[in-house]
Amino acid sequence: MAAPAVKDAPVVLISDLHLQESRPDITRAFVDFIARIPAACREFFILGDLFELWIGDDAVSPLANEVATSLKSLAGRGVNIYLMHGNRDFLIGDEYAARCGGKLISEPFELEVEGASWLLLHGDALCTDDAAYMEFRRMVRNPAWQREFLSRPLAERQAWADMARERSQAAAVDKPAEIMDVNHGAVLELIRASGHHRILHGHTHRPAVHELHDAGPSPAEPATRVVLGDWDRNGWYATIDGAEFTLQNFPIPGS
Ligand code: LP5
Ligand code: MN
């Protein structure tokens, strides 16, 4: 069956592909998706967790090469590519972004499009009820910690990353589901402090469009929180075209 067309829009956004050697079906779906991005697209955002794990740009792999080649071809079609860090691939550096023909952006990123403005994030920073994660995040997002980590041999970095994954998976078993979602107060505070009434993020793997009646510019105009889905059985993306936005998904063949 032919893959569905990717919706025509000047801005296309994805997140949470968690690309890894053990899921070649998702890598294929990604490469195919990139090839199908319509000519109308001017800006393509990857809002974190493109990779399942990233231990440094010097960890070359066929997967990293294939992804870079695919994105570089999109850049060659005149599309601006923006990469944001996720909680799995926050060690992606400028060198790999350049190999993809893209640019690293920090969060929250203000996206101004004709007719609307959006605040883009990975989403993990809003999960403030997860105290253990917040502590882990503070440690690994510290530039000094990252410099020290990246100075270690690749095999040692891989061992630390595997250990962190195991510990994270074990911790998830005991965490109530609400803790692993965004904290509503943190969302309201972000909206208040930024002045943006439209936010879009991934991370939680709970794709949805939320209307926030307690945070809009007026009671009649709710704020909007769009959550991208992770790529597993389906691939997810959002589009923005002026004041219009959509959240789309399509089946991943062989998943
Ligand atoms: O991504 P997901 O959904 O599985 O879980 C996240 C949070 N977990 C993480 C950790 C990552 O999964 C694994 C780390 C990737 C690192 C790549 C680079 C190498 C770094 C090496 C680090 C030593 O992001 C999870 C959240 C969940 O999202 C939902 O929001 O709950 O948070 C945790 O599980 C945190 C744990 O509760 C506590 C931390 C465990 C890791 C301990 C490492 C200890 C290292 C000590 C060094 C002195
Ligand atoms: Mn994530």
187-213 tens-digit pLDDT: 999 999 999 999 999 999 999 999 999
CA gap 232, 11 in Å, rounded: 23
- Whether 119 and 198 have beta carbons less than 8 Å apart is answered as yes
Q: Under 8 Å CB-to-CB from 146, ≥6 apart: which residues?
A: 91, 140
Note the Cα 115 to chain centre separation in Å: 24
CA gap 151, 134 in Å, rounded: 24
Which H/E stretch holds residue 17?
Answer: none
Per-residue pLDDT at 218 exceeds 90: no
DSSP-derived pairing of the beta strands 102-105 and 208-212: unpaired
Q: What is the pTM of this model?
A: 0.97
CA gap 46, 55 in Å, rounded: 18
Alpha-carbon distances, residue 244 vs 54, 141, 247 (angstroms): 34, 34, 11
From ligand 2's centre to the CA of 245, what distance in Å?
Answer: 22
Per-residue pLDDT at 172 exceeds 80: yes
From ligand 2's centre to the CA of 182, what distance in Å?
Answer: 12
pLDDT of residue 160: 98
CATH architecture of 11-251: 4-Layer Sandwich (3.60)
Mean pLDDT of 41-45: 98
Over residues 128-168, the pLDDT tens digits come to 999 999 999 999 999 999 999 999 999 999 999 999 999 99
Q: Under 8 Å CB-to-CB from 23, ≥6 apart: which residues?
A: none
DSSP-derived pairing of the beta strands 43-46 and 244-251: unpaired
Residue whose CB lies within 8 A of the most ligand 1 atoms, among 133, 162, 173, 230, for a mutation test: 133
How many residues in the chain? 255
Dig out the tokens for 90 from the structure: 């926050």
- Whether 225 and 216 have beta carbons less than 8 Å apart is answered as no
* Nearest Cα to Cα of residue 175 among 131, 208, 124: 131
Per-residue pLDDT at 216 exceeds 70: yes
CB-based pocket (< 6 A), ligand 1:
53, 55, 87-88, 91, 124, 127, 130, 132-133, 136, 140, 160-161, 164-165, 167-168, 171-172, 175, 180
Ligand nearest to the CA of 165: 1
Per-residue pLDDT at 2 exceeds 80: no
Over residues 70-120, the pLDDT tens digits come to 999 999 999 999 999 999 999 999 999 999 999 999 999 999 998 899 999
Alpha-carbon distances, residue 201 vs 20, 57, 231 (angstroms): 21, 24, 14
Neighbours of 19 (CB within 10 A): 23
Q: Where in the chain are the domains? A: 11-251
Ligand nearest to the CA of 123: 2
